[in-house]
Chains A and B, each alone.
Chain A
Amino acid sequence: MTELEAGGAGTLAPVRSGAAPGRYRDILIALIAFAVLASLPLFTGSKALLDFVIRCSAYGLFATSLNLLVGYTGLTSFGHGMFFGLGAYSFGLIMQKLGVPIPVAFVATLAITAVIAAVIGAICVRLKEIYFAFVTLAFQMLIHSTILSWASFTGGDQGLRGGIPRPSFLGINLANHVHLYIASCALLILGLLAMRQIAQSPFGFTLRMIRDNAARASFLGIDVWRAKLTVFVLAALFASMGGMVMALFVSGAYPEFAYWTISGEGIFINMLGGVSTFLGPMVGTVLLLLLNDTVTRFTEYHGIVLGIVILFFALGLRKGLLDFVAEWFSQRRDAGKGH
């Protein structure tokens, strides 16, 4: 973790200030990205590719939201996976038990996540560094144990069984593979766009200041605790959205979604992609899922391969892939100016 913390706290390049033109550019990029993704089914019949993008949406939302905490605020959460699991379970349970339309369940899940994240966050964000990391991990294990032991409600270790009902709404039928694919892409792009706006807003810059020097931010009159709590809750909401996409993909929710390994994967994705660029975690997600999917096709010793990749990134590049590329470009540019 020292590597990640060093990358997250020390060596970050200052990010360009986001003004209104930047926002229009982001929206334009988002629209183009959505148009490209949404037109994919017209060009390929590969269901595996669509599945891949759906999973990228779930993990991408989750990992990028974790980066709001790790990269932007300097809060290394080891328990962020609890909100991924919470999203999947709340959504699944609401759909199974209440049979409400999907958008209602979606909003209700976000509301539940916000309340729980506010309570957990209020306790956690008072702590710093390793203490914060461990208390978030403790809360994650609490939620995981609750899911396991409250078997009559959550299905225990066997998860939510019987499938999640997906009634049509506004002509969208999420039981249809292509509809689910487009909905996942839309959620991913909207989520990323929203997180980008948060990161580029004055609030986002406040977070960076807190990360770099919390005492200074406090002297400038910023309520550090409130800012940290706000970003903790916001990050939880996007992680919960990722969980809902995953629940729709597997048509169920399982305790593994709230286990610490999911948080670990989130941190690993951030290490792979890089924490100093906004899209670093998204690049990390694509890398990790590609690696996972190709390596598991050929060997059951995928742990060794992934371990070597981690070593390569941690000891070789000493940063995430996108960070490395960004740095390489800026060095080239500086070198060009020098001549």
Chain B
Amino acid sequence: MTRTRTPGISRRSTLALMGAGAMSVAAPWVARAQAKTIKIGMPTILSGRVAQLGTSSRNAVMLEVEKVNAAGGLAGRQIEMVIRDSKGQPQEAARVARELVNTDGCELLLDGEASSGSFAVHEVARDLGVLCIHTCSEASSLTADPKQHIPNAFRCVRQGIHDSIVGGSYAAAIAKAKGLKKWATCSPDYAYGRDTTGEFTLYLKRFAPDVEIISESWPKLFQPDYTEVVTKILQAKPQALYSCLWGGDLTSYIDQANIYAMFSQMEVFAVNMADYTALTVVKNLPKGIHSGNRYIKTFPTTPENAAWGDAYKAKYNEYPTNWSWQNATAVMFLAEAAKKANSADGKKLAEALKGLTIKCPFGADGTVTMRGDDHTLVGYAIGWGTTIPQEPYVPEVKAGDWKTIFELEAEWKKSKGYT
């Protein structure tokens, strides 16, 4: 019954041990708080049909963030990425973006959404006032339309209108040289397909006025069978064909059109061909398809670009996509803006981003610029070339002229009532 002190651990030392335990558990958090980690949220598409593009965006972001963190982070703050799947649904994209900011404490957003999802995230940025860089949506109206403009949103993506201007002038030069007057088009039946095709033919006819469109086909998005479309085009006997099919649709189309030897009967201009996701999947890539550059490590022909493509391949065992370079560029912009502003604060970063020109492996002249008046990316490498069946797939790319792009883009904006 007498209480004796057991020779084990005393209450005091137990408390001390518990304290030490708590400290060791909490230490990483304390350390993180001291280093003032900055969280960047990123909703993107990691499941479903375009998951490959979302994954390639995440890969590219992580590749660049590692570099920025190794060099000291954003104005001394280490970056922690919080990347979540939106399933490509706009309401999910909006929810995830809000959750990233409101619950996870993200101070900046990289919006890895395409099409409607990017507009949903744009509204979240408008609502919450958080700095947001769109990294995947090519819809020109996202930044060209002044109704969309907010001071805290930027777009670090190529644009449909730029592609059409360069594509139109490139195709017109070939049309004149080879006497291609009868053209057909074959593009997916939704806003991107219709707008891009409309703009391409507009500029094609502007540079080569005697071109005539004799056949138009509008297959459904994600259509599995193109036999009907292929035979319709072959019956019309055009001298050239334009298509803005992309991804799996483009590769199925080429595989099916190959059976009819379509590519030996006409010149084909497929703006989205020169992307490794398409180039490496087609069974027999025909020689001589004209394509715009999406991402190709041989264009721009600089050691920096080749090195970046190789580093990505070494790390992830696949080539980067168009979305990859855009996301990587967004991180590069953030790093430079933080240096310029000497801060990682969203408002100061937004000020610094306006009109900022940075060195970049994907720039037409080794630099790219975030244009100040409409917060959009310009000066990136853009051009067209022809395919060969094996690596490097598109050996030579003819660069587009940014002076012409700027002139015609200004005209286009006026015609749309944007300026």
Which residues of A are in contact with B by a Cβ distance under 8 Å? 46-48, 51, 55, 148, 151, 155-159, 161-163, 175, 246, 249-252, 254-257, 293, 296-297, 300-303
Contact = CB atoms under 8 A, between A and B. Distances in A.
Contacts of A297: 84
Contact of A303 (B47, B96, B123, B191): B47
B123 A148 contact: no
A254 B96 CA distance: 16
A151 B194 CA distance: 10
A175 B84 CA distance: 26
Contact of A161 (B96, B141, B192): B141
A155 B145 CA distance: 13
Contact of B116 (A55, A251, A254): A254
Nearest to A160: B119
Nearest to B97: A250
A255 to B, nearest CB: 7
A144 to B, nearest CB: 12
B95 A252 contact: no
B115 A157 contact: yes
> Which of B90, B96, B98, B126 has its CB near the most chain A CB atoms (within 10 A)?
B90
B120 A159 contact: yes
Contacts of B46: 300
Given A161-B148, A252-B123, A256-B90, A156 B85 contact: no
Contacts of A301: 47
Nearest to B101: A47
Nearest to B98: A51
Interface in B62-117: 84-85, 87, 89-92, 94-96, 98-99, 102-103, 115-116
Given A51-B98, A300-B47, A256 B85 contact: no
Given A48-B102, A159-B119, A296-B84, A251 B127 contact: yes
Contacts of A159: 90, 116, 119-120
Contact of A254 (B99, B120, B147): B120
Nearest to B82: A297
Contacts of A47: 98, 102-103
A151 B198 CA distance: 14
B191 A156 contact: yes
Contacts of B92: 296
B96 A296 contact: yes
A301 B55 CA distance: 13
A176 to B, nearest CB: 11
